[in-house]
Amino acid sequence: MLGLPESIRVLLFDLDGVLTSTAVLHRRAWKAAFDTFLRGRDPDGFVPFSEDDYLDYVDGRPRIDGVRTFLRARGIDVDDATVEAIGTGKNDEFLACLARGEVESYPGSVRYLEAAEKAGLKIGVVTSSKNGEAVLDAADLTRFVAARVDGRDIVAAGMRGKPAPDGFLAGAKAFGVPPSEAAVFEDAIAGVEAGRAGDFGYVVGVDRVGGDQAESMRTAGADVVVTDLAELLDL
């Protein structure tokens, strides 16, 4: 009934873009932070941060990794203080969105969580965001989540960020199951790659973008790609 292999006992969800609409807020916050930096650095040659930039260099990665990956793609070399300043500016903008109550859960994702809970499967969240707890609370999803691995945990434990599988492996370990008995749900290419790199039993790509994203997810290792988690209930 959940569109998963019978061997799966644990579900590990990315948060932003999979369970909540906050991926849109993250993209907006990143654009504000990067455009401010880029315009100030070179007003005449300013090339704004784009949606493709978000998907290619930032989406799914820890905040500081995202800053460095994007700047490297633009051939920009800066010191650590500047990297931190850009990341802080992005987070300040995102927190302002939270304060304005702009976080929403996807109805199809809530339906899927309810079905998974009813089926007796264990539910965890693995997110690169350091605001994982606040987002889950704001979206009224904390009630479903038995274990959470977020950006704070990843930094504290010295884990590698996505596309490395460390966060998802920690999520499986929290439930005492091998990766083969856990499914990963991701909307970012880096996250799909992490699920495949960790040899998880099933990797679900959630395409909220359209275009070539679904094919890119399959290439990255997704076993199935849907546009909404509720689609899995009909498989």
Contact 190, 163 (CB under 8 A): yes
- 3 state DSSP class of 124: strand
* Contacts with 87 (C-beta within 8 Å, 6 or more apart), sequence order: 33, 63, 64, 66, 67
| 14 among known catalytic residues | yes
Single out the residue of 71, 39, 75 nearest to residue 58, CA to CA: 71
| 228 among known catalytic residues | no
Extract the tokens encoding 146.
Answer: 């038995």
Q: 160: which DSSP letter?
A: P
Question: What's the rounded Cα separation, in Å, for the pair 87 and 62?
Answer: 10
Name the active-site residue from 16, 65, 207, 223.
16
Question: What's the rounded Cα separation, in Å, for the pair 146 and 144?
Answer: 7
Question: From residue 133, how far is each of 77, 97, 116, 158 by CA, in Å?
Answer: 33, 15, 21, 19
Name the active-site residue from 14, 65, 187, 207.
14
Residues noted as catalytic: 14, 16
